[in-house]
Amino acid sequence: MKKIGLIVNPIAGMGGSVGLKGTDGNTYKKALKLGAKPTTPQRIEETLALIKRKDLCFIVAPGKMGEDYLKKYDFKYEVVSTTIGETTSADDTKRIVKEMLNKNIDLLIFVGGDGTARDVYDVLGLSIPVIGIPSGVKMFSPVFALSTYAAAEIIDKNSNQFIEKEVLDIDEDAFRKGKLGAKLYGYLRVPKNPSLLQNKKEPSNVTKPEAISKKEIAQYILGRIEPETFYILGPGTTLATISDVMGLKKTLLGIDAVNNGKLFGADLNEQALLKLMAIYKKIKIIVTPIGGNGFIFGRASKQFTPEVLKLVDKTDIIIVATEDKISRLECLRVDTGDVEVDKKLRGYVKVITGNKTETLIEVK
Amino acid sequence: MTIELFKNENPYLPADNILQAAEKGLEVLNRYSKSASLNALKKQLGKYNNISPDRIVLSHGSDLLLREVINIFSNDRNIIRFSPSFFHVSINQSIKLINIKLSPPDFTINSGLLLSQLNEPTLIVIDNPNNPTGKLMLNDNLVEKILQNKNVLLLVDEAYYEFSGKSFVNLIEKYPNLAITRTMDKAFSLAGLRFGYLLMGDYFKEHFKDFPSYLATPSIFAAIEALKNKEYMVQNVKKILFEVKKIEDNLLKIGIQYFSGHANFILVKTEIPDFAIKLKKAGVLVRDLSDEWLNGYYRISVGLPEENEILLSMIKKIKNNT
């Protein structure tokens, strides 16, 4: 019997219809005043109605955070024993997910948006795979299933292939003002989207599993390390694998500097980077695209400011990514806020995808 | 009834004379195929492609020929492929593989970029037209520039040649480093036979001298018959291309973005969630490319006129309900 946690953020997505671009913080009450209606119930019920497997036992959040939807269907379930108030909050989500973790769930289904994904990440990290059912206003994090159908398909197929996807933190206030500022918040393990059509003739373009691709990338980098050079490693699990292979503990979300096998600075900000670059002349930056749109600079790693990037030669920027990731991107993108710097970074670049494999892709 | 529009197959059955030829092959199933039959097939293919039969290698499916080319020629060469493409290049660890990513909306090759990658011995594998975009990737000028570099081998897959009308077979005599794969799966309606062949320049020819052709007698007989009476294929290709245009015109009216190509399929882009699943529920199977490529892209093979009508009415319905 597979134990599946189910938690619903009943207020996610309410800001969208009334133009509020999110329900983080106090915006929720404003959304209600504007006549916003919950969109979540329909989303989760669509998925539940499509699940065909019967060997599932749901560990579900109480009331409108889960049980209310599940009890309409013929599934075995157990409610985690917490009560929730009239209005629900991020703390409720985190507390309940923790209880589910203690009940040894195999998989967590959460319904919500980027905010809910962050709450789930805070508790689970990479420990348990999740399926995000999109229902928020902002779903920039690529952890969400493509749709409710896809979510049901993944559950039915019992996929055991997982990949790590980014959880992004979008600044809602900036987003309301028409700006998109995103920070890499963490990673969640999500099932690979299975093929929705059987008997396809063509094999996949992706030849290597993600873990092998990452190890190969690390080998490639290690084989070319120059002792005199300072390497500045951007955020992401691919970069973390490189530092793991070096025997170093890198910050997952921060920017770290490495020289001659030693960690020279962790979680560096712009000032620290500029200082480092003023002292040491041989600098190389290693980055990986973050998020589904393929940004290498200007989104999740704001510390790489135009001032920092002006000091680096384009040939000293090494881009790495797994084959799976690169195959799903139309192109790479930069948006540093400085037209000249963006211009310098544009054009075709080489992305290392393995020890002997590379992809040439356009930066736009 | 399910309408299958996801494998780029030809919706038209082979003509009766072709089916009868295959049946003749069944009558001698206790025997291995005769070299005289294989030679007769090569002769027909030579005539069809205006090329000497000794430049032709026969195989059970062109995929196998591609694998063979990679096995033989990639030992001390880089491989360049394009993404997306039909080719699945599974190679050993010692080979350097360079993937060139084609970007929407044009999906064209940056010639300068490609030529700049040819400083070391290289094998380029490319499908022309490309699958799944349907775009013609190569022109005479670029191909000649590539082939003038003696360090480079170029393998072009022309599986959809009969639909695109574009081939580089006329350069085979001139350039030893050019090879072309073809298939009779598509235009000739013989996907079930899995019959493909290689057309080779001198350099490839040397290495394929002893390549054995294991083909089933029914396949050989059917292929010979199809080539002898190619008018049937020509008419079907015309009908399919007419349908391509019809589907494209209707997609435009419905408001679905497509990319014009040169094959028997159409690349479609739509933000409609679960587009392929919704079509599947309506009994129409199309290829969802989000699995290994980009979200929102679908490849639709062209079916019979009545199947295409159903496809279009379903797309219209889905679009209106979104």
- The secondary structure element, H or E, covering residue B126 is strand B122-127
- The Cα–Cα gap between B104 and B106 comes to 5
Over range B235-247, report the average pLDDT. Answer: 98
Do B7 and A200 lie within an 8 Å CB cutoff?
yes
Cβ-Cβ contacts under 8 Å, A364 against chain B: 103
Q: How far apart are CA B280 and CA A37, in angstroms?
A: 31
**How far is it, in rounded angstroms, from Cα A287 to Cα A56?**
41
Higher-scoring residue by pLDDT: A193, B168: B168
- Does residue B78 register a pLDDT over 90? yes
Average pLDDT estimate for A115-137: 88
Burial B84-99 (b: 16+ CB within 10 A, else e): bbbbebebeeebbbbb
pLDDT at A202: 42
Residue B287: its pLDDT value, please? 94
**Nearest chain B residue (CA) to A149:** B274
pLDDT in tens, B137-180: 999 999 999 999 999 999 999 999 999 999 999 999 999 999 99
Distance set, CA A153 to CA A36, A61, A145, A198, B86 (Å): 30, 22, 10, 12, 26
Average pLDDT over chain B, rounded to an integer: 94
State how beta strands A347-352 and A76-79 pair.
Answer: unpaired
Considering only CB atoms, A330 lies closest to which of B90, B103, B285, namely: B103
Look up the pTM and report it.
Answer: 0.83
Domain boundary assignment for chain A:
2-191, 210-363
Nearest-angstrom CA–CA distance, A112 and A41: 11
Distance, in Å, from the CA atom of A211 to the CA atom of A238, rounded to the nearest integer, reads: 9
* Mean pLDDT for the stretch of residues A102-128: 92
The closest alpha carbon to A237, from A214, A268, A266, belongs to A214
| pLDDT on residue A197 | 36
Of the given ranges (A168-177, A314-323, B22-31), which has the lowest mean pLDDT? A168-177
Among B127-141, B205-219, B250-264, the range scoring the smallest mean pLDDT is B205-219
Half-sphere exposure of A27 (CA within 13 A, CB side): 19
Rounded to an integer, what distance in angstroms lies between the CA atom of residue A150 and that of residue A143? 13
pLDDT digits (tens, 9 = 90+) for A43-60: 788 889 889 888 999 999
CA pair distance B112, B238, nearest whole angstrom: 35
- Mutation target among A50, A135, A201, A326 for the B interface, most CBs of B within 10 A: A201
Instruction: Compare all CA atoms of chain A with the CA of B272 and give the residue at the minimum distance.
Output: A147
CB pair distance less than 8 Å for A206 and B84: no
Among A158-172, A280-294, A344-358, the least confident range: A158-172
Percent of chain A at pLDDT above 90? 43
State residue A175's pLDDT score.
Answer: 56
Q: What DSSP string runs through B2-49?
A: -EEESS---SSPPPHHHHHHHHHHHTTTTSPPPHHHHHHHHHHHHHHH
d(CA B99, CA B214): 32
Chain B contacts of A362, Cβ < 8 Å?
A: 101, 103
Chain B residues near residue A194 by CB distance under 8 angstroms: 291
Closest by CA to B194, choosing from B228, B230, B165, B218, is B218
d(CA A229, CA A232): 10
**Which domains, and CATH codes, for chain B?**
3-11+232-320 (3.90.1150.10), 16-228 (3.40.640.10)
At residue B1, does pLDDT exceed 70? yes
pLDDT at B74 over 60: yes
**CATH classification number, A210-363, choose in 3.40.630, 3.30.2450, 3.30.70, 3.40.50:** 3.40.50
Note the pLDDT tens digit of each residue in B4-53.
999 999 999 999 999 999 999 999 999 999 999 999 999 999 999 999 99
Shortest CA distance from A361: residue in chain B: B101
Closest residue on chain A to B88 (Cα) = A205
The per-residue pLDDT for A319 is 98
For residue B101, the chain A residues in CB contact (below 8 A) are: 326, 329, 331, 359-362
